[in-house]
Amino acid sequence: MTNAKPYSLSDLPLPAKFVVTAFLLSIGLGFVSGMVQLHMKESKHDGAPLPGPDDVERKYCSYVPFDGQFPKSKMESLISGNPVGAFSKQNMAPAFYAKSADYKQAIKKQPASIIDAERDGERAALVAWLALDLPSRKKAYDDDTMPLPAELAAKPITAEFVEDGKAKIKSLIEERCARCHDGQQQSPAMNEWVKIEPLTIAPAPTTVDFHGVAYVKNDKQVSIDGLAQSTHAHLFGFSMLYALSGFVLAFTKYPKLVKLVFCPLALVAQTTDICCWWLSRMDPPLGLLFPKIILAAGGLAALSLAVQIFLSLFDLYGRTGKVLVLLLLLTGLGGGGYTVYTKAIKPALDAEREQSAALVSPA
């Protein structure tokens, strides 16, 4: 009895090959778009294409090394972020810049550099107000006036919010914050002092000593609820994705060792990545080791998926098909990919880098 020839991808009928090709190209594009989202949601928008180790520590670790800076109030943290990018639960700075209701009209009358400098002054005035003791803070809000500190006297501030060397704190909050946080559109409400007050109080510093090194409680760590939801979505969604791409590679004619390594590698890397999300919550210094593993595992998953896609595509077709696939990839990556990078991605990263370098901290 003769052993049957092993079935492989190249034995599929042509319509099925087209389906597999479209599937592999689609998940490749989907993964690239995921990298864009990762940049937009998790990076500091300082020109780095992807989040770095400190970004991962900030998101997942319970404690981070104490840098001598004590915790800020919720309001100061929100307005002190980078004005570039979208709103998030950690950054409301764009409300003073391009996301403000009057920004487009303002830059029609004056250069954007002047407007941005005035908006920096607005944020600096609010930070100075937040540095006051609580009774003085409340009085300045109720009276809608606060004498500007000497270091801010010469700093440009939007004329609408300053008069005779005094900042109109209540008016500034109403325009930049309470316009949306009015108790109906967005929470928390910021339309009256009793609701604003808790946002202006800085939490007591929680520093701890582990093996002679000082750490501080991370107030930007993702919540248990958020982590559980993200874990559920990633394990179900990516497990299905990597299982399908792994199965496709498993039916190629490459050596068994290649398939034993790369077919399950993306799944293993993704599972390791997610496990480290939770392990990062451990007390330091052990917990701070896992963000590095998260970055490595994420990179390994991306590399494995790329290998699965490219190897599977080339195994699907004969010589003519391989040439066409190669031309398709060169056109997409070398032509379209290069164009997108030079015309959209690189200019955006360069702009972020310049804005981040020029950004004057409101503190």
Residue 210 has pLDDT above 70, yes or no: yes
Domain annotation covers residue 90: yes
Residues 197 and 92 in one domain: yes
- The whole-number pLDDT of residue 360 equals 45
Residue 310 has pLDDT above 50, yes or no: yes
Cα separation, 221 vs 234, whole angstroms: 18
User: How many other C-beta atoms lie within 10 A of the C-beta of residue 236?
Assistant: 10
Residue 197 has pLDDT above 80, yes or no: yes
Cα separation, 27 vs 245, whole angstroms: 9
- The whole-number pLDDT of residue 88 equals 77
Domain annotation covers residue 334: no
pLDDT by residue (tens digit) across 159-186? 999 988 899 999 999 999 888 887 777 7
Domain annotation covers residue 66: no
Residue 362 has pLDDT above 50, yes or no: no
Residue 91 bridge partners (DSSP): 88
- The whole-number pLDDT of residue 242 equals 94
- The whole-number pLDDT of residue 343 equals 76
Contacts of 283 (CB under 8 A, 6+ apart): 62, 63, 210
Domain boundary among 202, 227, 257: 202
The order of strands in the sheet holding 207-210 is 63-65, 213-217, 207-210
Share of the chain above pLDDT 90, in %: 44
The Cβ-side half-sphere exposure at 188, using a 13 Å CA radius, reads 13
Residues 82 and 185 in one domain: yes
Domain annotation covers residue 342: no
pLDDT by residue (tens digit) across 244-257? 999 999 999 999 99
pLDDT by residue (tens digit) across 108-121? 989 988 999 999 99
How does the average pLDDT of the chain come out, rounded? Answer: 86
**Domain containing residue 197:** 72-202
The beta strands (E) that lie in the chain are given as 63-65, 146-147, 162-163, 166-167, 207-210, 213-217
- The whole-number pLDDT of residue 204 equals 75
Two structure tokens written together for 322: 């391989």
Residues 186 and 286 in one domain: no
Q: Model confidence at 5, in pLDDT bands (50, 70, 90)? A: low
Residue 308 has pLDDT above 90, yes or no: yes
Nearest C-alpha neighbor of 17 from the set 256, 304, 248, 260: 248
Residues 145 and 231 in one domain: no
Please state the domain count of the chain. 2
Nearest C-alpha neighbor of 21 from the set 32, 34, 10, 31: 10
Q: Which residue has the tokens 């490219």?
A: 310
User: Which whole number is the average pLDDT over 206-220?
Assistant: 80
Residues 152 and 102 in one domain: yes
Domain annotation covers residue 133: yes
Residues 187 and 81 in one domain: yes
CB 84 within 8 A of CB 352: yes
Backbone angles phi and psi of 355, in degrees to 5? -65, -35
Residues 83 and 52 in one domain: no
Residues 26 and 145 in one domain: no
Residues 85 and 45 in one domain: no
Q: Which of 9-13, 71-75, 292-296 is modeled with the greatest confidence?
A: 292-296
pLDDT by residue (tens digit) across 125-154? 999 999 999 999 999 999 999 999 998 888
Higher pLDDT, 24 or 209: 24
Domain boundary among 132, 167, 202: 202
Domain annotation covers residue 353: no
Share of the chain above pLDDT 70, in %: 95
Residues 294 and 185 in one domain: no
Residue 320 has pLDDT above 80, yes or no: yes
Is the C-alpha dihedral spanning 340, 344, 349, 350 positive or negative?
positive
Residues 144 and 40 in one domain: no
Two structure tokens written together for 319: 């010589």
Q: Is 166 helix (H, G, I), strand (E, B) or coil?
A: strand
- The whole-number pLDDT of residue 85 equals 67
Residues 141 and 168 in one domain: yes
Domain annotation covers residue 326: no
CB 127 within 8 A of CB 363: yes
Q: What angle (nearest 5°) sits at the alpha carbon of residue 34, between those of residues 29 and 36?
A: 100
Domain annotation covers residue 146: yes
User: Which whole number is the average pLDDT over 75-79?
Assistant: 90
- The whole-number pLDDT of residue 2 equals 52
